[in-house]
A and B are shown apart, each in its own frame.
Chain A
Amino acid sequence: EDQVTQSPEALRLQEGESSSLNCSYTVSGLRGLFWYRQDPGKGPEFLFTLYSAGEEKEKERLKATLTKKESFLHITAPKPEDSATYLCAVQTRANAGKSTFGDGTTLTVKP
Chain B
Amino acid sequence: NAGVTQTPKFQVLKTGQSMTLQCAQDMNHEYMSWYRQDPGMGLRLIHYSVGAGITDQGEVPNGYNVSRSTTEDFPLRLLSAAPSQTSVYFCASSPRGVGDTQYFGPGTRLTVL
Q: Which residues of A contact B (CB under 8 A)?
A: 4, 6, 9, 32, 34, 36, 41-46, 49, 51, 87, 89, 91, 96-104
Contacts and interface: CB of A to CB of B under 8 A. Distances in A.
B98 to A, nearest CB: 8
Contacts of A99: 33, 43, 45, 102
Interface string B30-57: 1101010000111111001110000010
A49 B101 contact: yes
A94 B90 CA distance: 24
Nearest to A100: B45
Contacts of A91: 100
A44 B41 contact: no
A96 B42 contact: no
A109 B72 CA distance: 39
Q: How large is the interface on B (under 10, 10 to 19, 20 to 34, 35 or more residues)?
A: 20 to 34
B43 A101 contact: yes
A87 B43 contact: yes
Given A34-B101, A96-B96, A99-B33, A43 B42 contact: no
B89 to A, nearest CB: 10
7 contacts: A42-B106, A44-B43, A87-B43, A89-B43, A98-B33, A101-B45, A104-B42
B71 to A, nearest CB: 13
B42 A42 contact: no
A101 B90 contact: no
A79 B43 CA distance: 26
Contact of A102 (B42, B48, B90): B42
A24 to B, nearest CB: 14
B90 A44 contact: yes
Given A97-B100, A103-B40, 15 more contacts: A4-B42, A34-B101, A34-B102, A43-B90, A43-B105, A43-B106, A46-B102, A97-B31, A97-B48, A97-B96, A98-B56, A100-B45, A101-B43, A101-B44, A103-B42
B94 interface: yes
Nearest to A102: B42
B47 to A, nearest CB: 10
